[in-house]
A and B are shown apart, each in its own frame.
Chain A
Amino acid sequence: MYTVVIGVIGADVHAVGNKIIDHVLKEHGFNVVNIGVLSSQEDFINAAIETDAKAILVSSLYGHGELDCKYMKENMVEAGLSHVKLYVGGNIVVGKQDFTEVEERFKKMGFDRVYPPGTNIEHAVGDIKEDLADA
C-alpha cells in the first residue's frame, strides 16, 4: 500500500476537493495522509518525511498556487525527498491562462504532473499508480 500526502497549500481554506481526493484515494487502497487546508510547504515535507510517503499531492484553488509552490521541489531535495513524486492540481494560477503554458511552468519547477481545473481525481489515480509502480 502506497503512502501519499495530500493537502491544500497556502492561505487557502477550500476543503471540498481535498475531501474528495482523500476519499477516492482511500477507495483505491492508498494510505492517505491528509494535512488539510492552510498547509505550508514545510507541512507537506514534514508529513512526507514522518510517514515515508511516496508522493505529495498539492491542491490549490484560490489562484496563488504559483507563489505558494515556488522552490518546493528544491526544498524537498534539501530535505532528502528527491525520490518523492510531486503533483499539483486545481486553479493553480490567477485568472484564465493557457494550460499548456501553465503545465510547462510547473514542470520546470519540478512537478511531475500538473492537472488543470476540473480534473476528475479518478483520472489522476491511474497516473499515480503507474508512476509509483515504476519508481
Chain B
Amino acid sequence: MMIMNKKLSKEEFFKKREEIRSHWPTGADERLEFEKAVALLKSVPDSKNFAKKLRFAKEHDLTMIQPRAGVALVDQHIELMQFLEKHGKADFLPSTIDSYTRQNRYSHAEDAIKQSLKQKRSMLNGFPAVNHGIDGCHKVFENVNVPLQARHGTPDARLLSEIIHASGWTSNEGGGISYNIPYAKNISLEDTIRYWQYCDRLVGLYAEEGIELNREPFGPLTGTLVPPSISHTIAIIEAILAAEQGVKNITVGYGQCGNITQDVAALQTLDSLTNYYLKIFGYDDVFVTTVMHQWMGGFPSDEAEAMSLISLGATVATLGNATKIITKSPHESQGIPTKEANAEGLRASKLMTRMLKTQRYPSDDVLKAEKEMIEKEVKTLLYATLNIGKGDFAQGVIQAFKHGILDIPFAPSEMNHGKILPARDLRGNIRILEFGNLPFDDEIKRFHKDALEARGKAEGRPVSFKMTIDDIYAVSQGILVGNSEYKEPSL
C-alpha cells in the first residue's frame, strides 16, 4: 500500500503493535498494555510532564535548558541525570540513546551492558532504553524531578517509543525525515515515514485519552551549514505528519548558524511559519514551541573558547525567543563530556537566559529582509513538495528527495540528492552556492549569488566549494567565515 499522510486506524495500529512488542523480550512487559500505560501516564505530575512544562515556558516567555546525556547502566544514568538536574539546573532532562539501540541491534547492546558492568565504566555512548525496558526506564523517571525525553537518531524507534512513554517519559525526539537522511545510508523514506507515523499515532492515541505528550522533530539535520529554509521546511512537514496522527504538542528545532541576525530571523520564522502552515493544512489545535541547538559543528578545543561559543548560542536563543535550548559542553571537541563539564555548559547557558529574559532582538530592516527571504524559500519548497506528491505530504517527501526538490547538505543517505552546497557570506550568514534541483526562482538565486560574490570580492578569490570547506572548519579554528589565508590584523 502506498504511504500517504493519513491517520492510522486503531485496528492497523494495534495489529502492528503486537508484532513490534515481539522485537525484544522487554516488549512483552505487561505494563505495555495500553490501559496500564494510560494509567501510569495519567499519574505523571504536571511538573514532570514535558508538554505541560513547555506550555508553561511559552506562556511565561521563558527560555529553558536541556543537555544531552546518557550512559549504559541504569544506576549510573540516574546519578548523571540527578547531577545535571542539581548542578546544571536543567529544566528538562534527556536520555541520549546509544548507537546500537539506534540501529535496533539490541543483542549488541546487551553484550555492551554486560561489559560495562564488568569494566565498571560505560561501554556505550548512550542509554540502551529498550534493553533496560520499563523496569530501568521507569526507575530513571522515578528518580528525577523534571520531565524526561528520549533523544536519539533511530530510524525505527517504534519499540523504543512504546517503552519510554509507558515508563513516564513524556517527550520523544525524531521524525521520518530527520532521523533518516542524516542518520542512515539506505533506508527508504517510505519505511521511516511509516515507522514515525506509528510513533506519532501512539502519542495521538494517548492524546485521545487526555494525556498530552510532546514530540520534537530533529531540527539541525546534518548540523553542517544547513540553510534555515531547508531545516524549517523539513520541520514543518514533520510537524504536519505528526499532527495528522493526532500529536497536539510539537517542538520544532533549529541549529545555530552563527550570524546573530540570521539566527533570530530563523527562530522567529520557525515559530510563525510552523503555526501558519499547520493551520493552513487543517491542524488548528496544535501547540507549537521552538528549540535551538547550540552550535552543532566542530568546536574549538580550548575550553574557555568553547564556553564562549556556548554562551553565544544561549544569547541568540534567548533573544530569538526560543522555548528551549539544547546545550553543549566545553568538552565538545573531545567527544562525550564528564557530568561536571556538561553541567558547566548548562549553567553558563542558564545565566544568559536569565540576564536576557526581558530583552528581545530589535526589529530592523536587515532582520526583516532575512525573515522575508526565509519565508519565501520555505513557501517555495513546501508547495513544490506538496505538488510533486499530488497533494500528499508523505508522497511529496519521497518524490521531493528523489528529485532533489528537498536536499540536505552533507547527508549520508542515498535517498538524498546531495547536490546543493552552502557557504557563508561576508557577515557569516549561511547562503547557497550550488542549488542542485532546489526549485527556487531567479530572485532567490540572485540574492544568494550576490551575497557570495560580495564575499569573493572582499576575500579576493572566486566563489567556490573552497569557501564551503573553509567554513566547515572555521568555527573550530575560532572564526565564523572561513578563510584558509586568514591572519589576525596586526599593526
Chain A residues within CB distance 8 Å of chain B: 11, 13-16, 18-20, 23-24, 27, 36-38, 118
CB of A37 within 8 A of CB of B412, answer: yes
CB of A23 within 8 A of CB of B185, answer: no
Indicate whether A16 sits within 8 Å of B410 (C-beta atoms), given known contacts A36-B185, A37-B185, A38-B185: yes
- Indicate the member of A16, A24, A118 with the most B CB atoms within 10 Å: A16
Indicate whether A16 sits within 8 Å of B185 (C-beta atoms), given known contacts A23-B465, A36-B414: no
B468 CB contacts on chain A under 8 angstroms:
20
* Nearest CB on A from B10, distance (A): 36
- Please tell me if B269 contacts chain A, counting CB pairs below 8 Å: no
- Please tell me if B481 contacts chain A, counting CB pairs below 8 Å: no
Chain B residues within CB distance 8 Å of chain A: 99, 183-185, 222, 224, 410-412, 414, 418, 421, 465, 468-469, 472-473
A24-B469, A37-B185 given. 18 additional CB < 8 A pairs?
A: A11-B99, A13-B183, A13-B184, A13-B412, A14-B412, A15-B222, A15-B410, A15-B412, A16-B410, A16-B472, A20-B465, A20-B469, A23-B421, A23-B465, A24-B465, A27-B465, A37-B412, A38-B185
- Indicate the member of A15, A36, A37, A118 with the most B CB atoms within 10 Å: A15
A118 CB contacts on chain B under 8 angstroms:
473
Which of B99, B222, B414, B465 sits near A16, CB closer than 8 Å?
B222
Closest residue on chain B to residue A16 by CB atoms: B410
Number of A-B contacts (CB under 8 A): 34
A-B contact pairs, 18 of them (CB 8 A): A11-B99, A13-B183, A13-B185, A13-B412, A15-B222, A15-B410, A15-B411, A16-B222, A16-B224, A16-B410, A16-B472, A18-B412, A20-B465, A20-B468, A20-B469, A24-B469, A27-B465, A36-B414
Closest residue on chain A to residue B103 by CB atoms: A11
B410 CB contacts on chain A under 8 angstroms:
15-16, 19
B421 CB contacts on chain A under 8 angstroms:
23
C-alpha spacing A23/B465, complex, angstroms? 8
C-alpha spacing A37/B224, complex, angstroms? 16
* Nearest CB on B from A74, distance (A): 26
Closest residue on chain B to residue A63 by CB atoms: B335
B465 CB contacts on chain A under 8 angstroms:
20, 23-24, 27
C-alpha spacing A20/B470, complex, angstroms? 11
B469 CB contacts on chain A under 8 angstroms:
20, 24
Closest residue on chain B to residue A26 by CB atoms: B465
C-alpha spacing A38/B224, complex, angstroms? 19
* Nearest CB on A from B198, distance (A): 23
C-alpha spacing A14/B472, complex, angstroms? 13
C-alpha spacing A24/B412, complex, angstroms? 17
B183 CB contacts on chain A under 8 angstroms:
13
CB of A19 within 8 A of CB of B418, answer: yes
CB of B412 within 8 A of CB of A38, answer: yes
